[in-house]
Amino acid sequence: MEQVRNDVRNIAIIAHVDHGKTTLVDQLLRQSGTFRENQVIQERVMDSNDLERERGITILSKNTAVRYKDTKINIIDTPGHADFGGEVERVLKMVNGVVLVVDAFEGPMPQTKFVLKKALELELPVISCINKVDRPGARPEKVMDEVLDLFIELDADEEQLECPFVYASAKNGIASLDMHKLGDNMEPLFETILEHIPAPKGNFDGPFQVLISTIDYDNYIGRIGVGKVERGSIKTNQEAIMVNEQNPELHKKVKITKLYEFEGLNRMEVDQAEVGSIVAIAGIEGIHIGDTVCNAEHPEALPFVKISQPTIAMTFSVNDSPFAGQEGKFVTSRQLRDRLFRELQTDVSIKIEETDSPDAFKVSGRGELHLSILIETMRREGYEFQVSKPEVLFEIIDGKKNEPMEIVTIDVPEEFMGTVIEKLGKRKAELINMTQSKGGYSRLEFSIPARGLIGYASEFMTDTKGNGILNTIFDGYAPYKGEIPTRSQGSLIAYETGESIAYGLFNAQERGTLFIGAGVKVYEGMIVGENARLGDIEVNVCKRKQLTNVRASGSDDALKLSPPKVLSLEQALEFIEEDELVEITPENTRIRKKILD
């Protein structure tokens, strides 16, 4: 029989990196009376892992629970970085609503959009929490509008648009429904959660099913599967069956020896848990994300979010330099291998493969950041090894090569815009959007093959003197676009469009592709192809179209066009030999035809 668990709420906290998710959960924990007076409280209790604390980012989702009045609120903290995007979707499957935290100064950021989109797609009710209202320059009213605009952009339905707004200073532990008058504590947020997030409901009496959504690891009890009881009630010392929808072969008899629910930051052992509860199950060897633990007589697997495929690989190998063994205590290939394979227990987006050499392992993950965190964690643990340059993993479908794409969102002061556009252009990025953001910053959005981003983050930091913000989000696969040119090649061409002259580099190796090389400035109002991007133009899909507000600058020694300018044909001839020039005339080539089409 379907019943409602009025004593429980399951929520996820979603936000862009640094908007204050962890601080907010800390406050809810503190104020729900979870902490005793004399308990030592670390500054941010949620991020237990040292590396997380140092980098200030949440890597794996954490479960916690607070009590407010008679209700237990299970809170799932979600990772803030897009490389771990699959995890966000999985934890959202466990909850009945989300609290979207948005910085009252910064407003919605790329990750805000990404996580909100996921929540809306799953039809979850959203509470928007405008945080950091104490910040100098906070603009809660504007940010509220921006959040609503985002809801509209993401096609939120009427009900979702009615979402309540709570204003908070998580740092000071206060919240309010009125942006002009802050309260004394977090009660307004607790109350809003109780009121707007539906209680979980389900069949109390049916054969039990628990869908495993995350994996924890504990040195004492080993591997722990965490998930929601989707039906019935689970008890300890019960025979059960573990099944998996995507892996029909998995049909394993198991015994529930230890069962936990969350209380504060701890796991508390329980004998039984009902539908709607979030539980941790220990003692099942090989338990995996996506498995369903169910009643032994009714082995029915629940459907589950597909795990995203890795996009970047690196080879980890034993250090063979003359200085090997000086920094780490674990140096052998056996130690390296064991450590890497252990990582598979908690991180489902990682893949480890043996290679031809017993000293080297191919490690694939969800992006450069994902792998760099693993590398750093292992180095801190005392593992000494070397890593190769990252390599992008292509997807081959019907013999065609597809490459992983990323959406890059960049906020930069205007003075650095030219350099960023130029550099990314060379890396095959396509500028897809450009808007003015606050404080003299511009926001640029690019679509770029993942391999174009390799090594870019540090270049970006240097180019923007540390003033830029860069975010990337995995954007599926697209047909392979050819090699990323390392330098300009081909010869200069010029063509008249009737209103102005555009010019670029014609790459002889890729017929039909016109590169607008570095050093070329595309002026406002200049006529270029529809798909023109700073970097290249696919001439074969060109249509006449005016791109406004597109600017690029830079210099290219090969062209000696500095400062860049729009050239007449005669001027273009000063830079190239006449026989190198491909002039696009009505009689000329397929390129011309496509431009005129």
What residues form the annotated binding site for GTP? 18-23, 131-134
Q: Which is nearer to ligand GTP, 304 or 474 (CB)?
A: 474
The piece of 14-22, 340-348, 468-476, 580-588 that touches ligand GTP (CB under 6 A) is 14-22
Q: Which residue from 7, 18, 391, 496 is in contact with ligand GTP, where contact means CB under 6 A?
A: 18
Shortest distance in whole angstroms from residue 211 CB to ligand GTP: 25
Q: Which residue from 32, 80, 367, 493 is in contact with ligand GTP, where contact means CB under 6 A?
A: 80
Site for ligand GTP contains 171 (CB under 6 A): yes
Q: Which is nearer to ligand GTP, 61 or 319 (CB)?
A: 61
* Residue whose entry in the numeric block shows the structure tokens 């540090």: 458
Site for ligand GTP in 290-349 (CB under 6 A): none
Site for ligand GTP in 450-509 (CB under 6 A): none
Q: Which helix (H) or strand (E) holds 495?
A: strand 491-496
Shortest distance in whole angstroms from residue 395 CB to ligand GTP: 29
Total residues at interface with ligand GTP (CB under 6 A) = 20
The piece of 164-172, 183-191, 426-434, 573-581 that touches ligand GTP (CB under 6 A) is 164-172
Shortest distance in whole angstroms from residue 416 CB to ligand GTP: 24
Instruction: State the DSSP code for 302.
Output: P
Q: Which is nearer to ligand GTP, 171 or 593 (CB)?
A: 171
Shortest distance in whole angstroms from residue 61 CB to ligand GTP: 11
DSSP β-bridge partners for residue 14: 100
Pure H helices in 83-201 = 85-92, 110-121, 140-153, 158-161, 187-196
Shortest distance in whole angstroms from residue 112 CB to ligand GTP: 11
90: Cβ–Cβ under 8 A, 6 or more apart, which residues?
213, 214, 289, 304, 305
Site for ligand GTP contains 134 (CB under 6 A): yes
Cα 341 vs. chain centroid, distance in angstroms? Answer: 24
Shortest distance in whole angstroms from residue 587 CB to ligand GTP: 59
> Of 393, 407, 202, which Cα lies nearest the Cα of 302?
202
Q: Write the burial class of residue 577 (CB in 10 Å: 0-12 exposed, 13-18 middle, 19+ buried).
A: exposed
> Of 213, 367, 231, 210, which Cα lies nearest the Cα of 305?
213
Site for ligand GTP contains 19 (CB under 6 A): yes
Site for ligand GTP in 141-160 (CB under 6 A): none
Site for ligand GTP in 43-72 (CB under 6 A): 44, 56-58
Q: Which residue from 170, 211, 373, 444 is in contact with ligand GTP, where contact means CB under 6 A?
A: 170
Q: Which residue from 11, 17, 363, 494 is in contact with ligand GTP, where contact means CB under 6 A?
A: 17
Give me 349's structure tokens.
Answer: 């987006």
Shortest distance in whole angstroms from residue 16 CB to ligand GTP: 7
Site for ligand GTP contains 75 (CB under 6 A): no
| Nearest residue to ligand GTP, scored by beta-carbon proximity | 80
For 74, phi then psi, to 5°, come to -80, 125
Site for ligand GTP contains 131 (CB under 6 A): yes
Shortest distance in whole angstroms from residue 59 CB to ligand GTP: 9
For residue 54, is it left (φ>0), alpha (ψ between -120 and 50) or beta? alpha
Shortest distance in whole angstroms from residue 12 CB to ligand GTP: 13
Site for ligand GTP contains 20 (CB under 6 A): yes
Give the DSSP per-residue string, 470-492.
EEEEEEEEEE---PPPSS--SEE
Shortest distance in whole angstroms from residue 447 CB to ligand GTP: 25
E runs forming strands in 366-449 = 385-387, 391-392, 395-397, 400-413, 430-436, 441-449
Q: Which is nearer to ligand GTP, 26 or 556 (CB)?
A: 26
Q: Which is nearer to ligand GTP, 183 or 200 (CB)?
A: 183
Site for ligand GTP contains 21 (CB under 6 A): yes
Give me 137's structure tokens.
Answer: 């320059």
Site for ligand GTP contains 359 (CB under 6 A): no
Q: Are β-strands 266-270 and 258-263 bridged in parallel, bridged antiparallel, or unpaired? A: antiparallel
Per DSSP, the three-state class of 448 is: strand
Q: Which is nearer to ligand GTP, 165 or 260 (CB)?
A: 165
- Rounded to the nearest 10 degrees, the angle between the axes of helix 21-31 and helix 187-196 is 100
Per DSSP, the three-state class of 259 is: strand
Q: Which helix (H) or strand (E) holds 23?
A: helix 21-31
> Of 377, 376, 368, 379, which Cα lies nearest the Cα of 408?
368
Q: Which residue from 10, 22, 112, 472 is in contact with ligand GTP, where contact means CB under 6 A?
A: 22
CA–CA gap between residue 565 and residue 117 (Å, rounded): 42
Q: Please state the residue numbers annotated as binding site.
A: 18-23, 131-134
Give me 494's structure tokens.
Answer: 């010029």
Give the interface with ligand GTP as residue ranges (CB under 6 A): 15, 17-23, 44, 56-58, 80, 131-132, 134-135, 169-171
